Amino acid sequence: MNKIATWTVLALATSLAGCTGTAASNRSLESVHQPIVRNAIHQFDVAATNGELAPSEQGRLQGWFDAMGVRYGDRIAIEDASVYGATSAQATVRSMIARRGLLVSQDVPVTTGAVPPGHLRIIVTRASAFVPGCPDWASKSSINPTNSTSSNYGCATNSNLAAMVADPNDLIKGARGDRDDPATATRAIRTYRDKPQTGAGDLRGQQTSGGGK
């Protein structure tokens, strides 16, 4: 049976917030330049023969992960269309994803075409964010009878935010609270308190040489 591998990109664009008006008439402190979040969906099919993921298929999937450069912020899901589910093959894929420090998402996006029989579909959703129309110094006249904000107002802040956020989808909806870990939240404070003070030890004498008298 021929091994089937498919790769598809579906671009989905979502605006963090709609423009509240043109830059020429914006008299509020809300910038009209808001980040746009795009989600690209990539899919890859691997053969799960008898519910197992053969070493050759693991190598293909590993190579695809390397070529994709999967990283934090990517959302990886597994689609299994078999009746009973390829439990062993799914466990192998999950372990491969875990070795990269990532988790498997429970939300499976819509992809192109049906999953071939006896196969698993691995889906990587990668988000990116940008602010269109920035910088914007010229769309508004220097004459400002309405006392509105500058046409470039918000470009620097929102562009930097879009560039720095690890998961751009958090700009649309923040991370869910079920991933909060109190131990992780207090780790920095615990490390600060438990670390010995720099002046706690005795001062040590050090022999110096050189220099004039």
Contact 116, 80 (CB under 8 A): no
Is 54 within a domain?
A: yes
User: Which residue's structure tokens are 């912020």?
Assistant: 73
pLDDT at 213: 54
What pTM, to 2 d.p., does this model score?
0.64
User: Which residue's structure tokens are 């956020």?
Assistant: 165
Is 149 within a domain?
A: yes
DSSP category for residue 171: G
Is 211 within a domain?
A: no
Is 198 within a domain?
A: no
DSSP category for residue 50: T
**213 residues of the chain, pLDDT tens digit each:** 333 343 444 444 444 444 434 666 777 888 889 999 999 999 999 999 888 999 999 999 999 999 999 988 899 999 988 877 778 999 999 999 999 888 898 888 889 899 998 899 999 999 999 999 899 887 877 777 777 888 888 999 999 999 998 889 888 887 766 555 676 667 778 888 888 777 666 666 666 666 555
Is 3 within a domain?
A: no
Direct distance between the N- and C-terminal alpha carbons of the chain, in angstroms, rounded to an integer: 87
Is 1 within a domain?
A: no
Region label for 147, one of left (φ > 0), alpha (ψ between -120 and 50) or beta (otherwise): left
Is 142 within a domain?
A: yes
CA distance 4 to 86: 17
Collapsing DSSP states into helix, strand and coil, what is residue 68?
Answer: helix
pLDDT at 83: 74
* Domains in the chain, number: 1
The residue range of the domain holding 125 is: 10-190
Is 31 within a domain?
A: yes
User: Which residue's structure tokens are 């009878």?
Assistant: 145
Cross-strand bridge partners of residue 44 = 122
